[in-house]
Amino acid sequence: MADVIDLTLVADARRYLTKMLDARGLNYFLRTDARRPFQLEPTKVEMVVRTAARSRARERRPHHRAVDFARKEVRRELIKRVVAEMLGAGL
């Protein structure tokens, strides 16, 4: 049986991610470790997904699989942007 994915949660998470990227930039989502300069900060990714989930109606809590899928989508988008920045910088 196929999994049902809450696309509104994914869309809200992407919208909130775009707002955060415009306001704070890509570096906000990266760890400040000198040995691994391009590693994502998991708490910042989680913050985006949880904020998108909280912005929905209180009586409709998202399913945990929908939250996991939204988290993966946010991570994928951030990874794409990090790779684009790395290629642009010639690293």
What is the rounded distance in angstroms from the CA atom of residue 61 to the CA atom of residue 52? 11
**Is residue 21 in a domain?**
yes
Phi, psi of 34 (to 5 degrees): -70, -30
- All residues at 6 or more sequence positions from 51 whose CB lies less than 8 Å from its CB, including other chains: 16
- What pLDDT is recorded for position 79? 93
Tens digits of residue pLDDT in 22-62: 999 999 998 887 677 778 999 999 999 999 988 876 667 78
**pTM to 2 decimals?**
0.82
**Local confidence band at 3 (pLDDT 50, 70, 90 cut-offs):** low
- What pLDDT is recorded for position 45? 94
**Is residue 1 in a domain?**
no
**Is residue 34 in a domain?**
yes
Write the single-letter amino acid at 2: A
Q: How many domains does the chain contain in total?
A: 1
- What pLDDT is recorded for position 1? 42
**Local confidence band at 78 (pLDDT 50, 70, 90 cut-offs):** very high
| Residue-range definition of the domain harbouring residue 74 | 7-89
Alpha carbon 31 to chain centroid distance? 14
**Is residue 2 in a domain?**
no
